[in-house]
């Protein structure tokens, strides 16, 4: 271990070498979604008020 690992910026867990700087694939995707969401909002110039999600929480 080289002790240089920073905590996951999403949840604060220790980062995983496979997903750094995140701790898991899930957190990498959360970050991606955030980023994409911001871009999208800027492009449209308005914040959508949580439109009905197409996928039914099937997780």
Known binding-site residues for Zn(2+) equal: 8, 11, 23, 27
- Using CA atoms, how far apart are residues 51 and 8, in angstroms rounded to an integer? 29
C-beta of 37 vs 41, nearer to Zn ion: 37
Site string for Zn ion, 9-28 (x = CB under 5 A): -xx-x---------x---x-
Q: What would the DSSP string read from start to end of 16-42?
A: PTTTTTSSSHHHHHHHHHHHHHHHHHH
Annotated binding-site residues read 8, 11, 23, 27
Minimum distance from CB of 24 to Zn ion (Å)? 6
- Using CA atoms, how far apart are residues 29 and 2, in angstroms rounded to an integer? 26
Binding site for Zn ion (CB under 5 A): 8, 10-11, 13, 23, 27
């Amino acid at each position: 271990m080289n002790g240089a690992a920073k905590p996951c910026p999403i949840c604060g867990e220790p980062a995983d070498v496979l997903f750094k700087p995140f701790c898991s694939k899930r957190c990498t995707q959360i970050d991606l979604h955030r980023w994409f969401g911001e871009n999208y909002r800027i492009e449209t110039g308005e914040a959508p008020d949580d439109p009905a999600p197409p996928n039914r929480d099937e997780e």
